[in-house]
A and B are shown apart, each in its own frame.
Chain A
Amino acid sequence: MTDRVRVSVTVPADPATAFALFTEETDLWWRRGPRFRASGRTPGVLSFSPGVGGALSETFEAADGPRTVVTGTITHWEPPDHFRFEWRAINFAPGESTTVDVRFEATQGGTRVTVEHSGWSSLRADHPVRHGKDTGAFLRTMGLWWGELLTSLRERA
């Protein structure tokens, strides 16, 4: 148990189809509005560019001209089973990012799609560099620590 949120859904398609629809038709299904998109209510296009190093980005017409906002950078790409990207919201400070892991598993009658979003314990005002620690190690410690703490508090509740 670490600092992660895991959500699953089963869709009526094989993994290859589910993977393709998820990553190639993203704009058609990704919810619209300020909660889900950097463009807010402005019409725009949200898409993944496939492969490691590719981006989850949004292009829209801002008041001062066309704008592209990159929300994620793909760090792992293994169709049709799995891909992962670093997720940064527009209000994140430099060095702050979270990880979104997406898995596609064949099940009876379809594919189970699981999204795991982790690393939110990195979102704090203090940057780890100030503590003279390796960022990765710091986040791992923080993540484990938060996970344990939340688990123990839930058990108590």
Chain B
Amino acid sequence: MVQATLTALADDTRRSVVDLLRHEPRRASDLAAELSITPQAMSRHLRVLRKSGVIREEGIEEDARVRMYQLCPEPFRELRGWLDEVESYWVTELDAFREHVEKRRGKRG
């Protein structure tokens, strides 16, 4: 899952889309215009982002033809979880190191 998120985001345009969606949900046509790419190209990028679970689409009440895109928080929470794991790894190692230093000091003293 983390890998899918990173793959989806290893692209400048898709990262720009995520940046825009951080502020508010947008239409595909707005996103294409903002980033100066064709609606077809935007549609391909949105599909990749949607499939990897980074964004989701929603309809609006006023117009059934319009799709709005917004960020999904879950993949970012997973990334945060990954960072937390790296952190817990080093907390464990440094605890072990501190115990070792204390033991050595005991022997020397």
Contact = CB atoms under 8 A, between A and B. Distances in A.
Interface of A: 3, 5, 7-13, 17-18, 21-22, 25, 28-31, 35-36, 113, 115, 117, 120-121, 123-126, 128, 131, 142, 145-146, 149-150, 152-154
A21 B94 contact: no
B18 interface: yes
Given A5-B83, A120-B83, A154-B80, A126 B7 contact: yes
Interface string B49-87: 000000000000000000000000100100110110011
Interface residues of B, number: 34
Given A113-B94, A124-B10, A125-B6, A11 B101 contact: yes
A125 B1 CA distance: 12
B100 A28 contact: yes
A149 B40 CA distance: 27
B22 A152 contact: yes
A29 B18 contact: no
A30 B96 contact: yes
A106 to B, nearest CB: 14
Given A9-B94, A29-B99, A153-B76, 13 more contacts: A3-B83, A5-B87, A12-B105, A13-B105, A22-B97, A30-B96, A35-B89, A36-B89, A36-B92, A113-B94, A120-B82, A131-B12, A150-B76
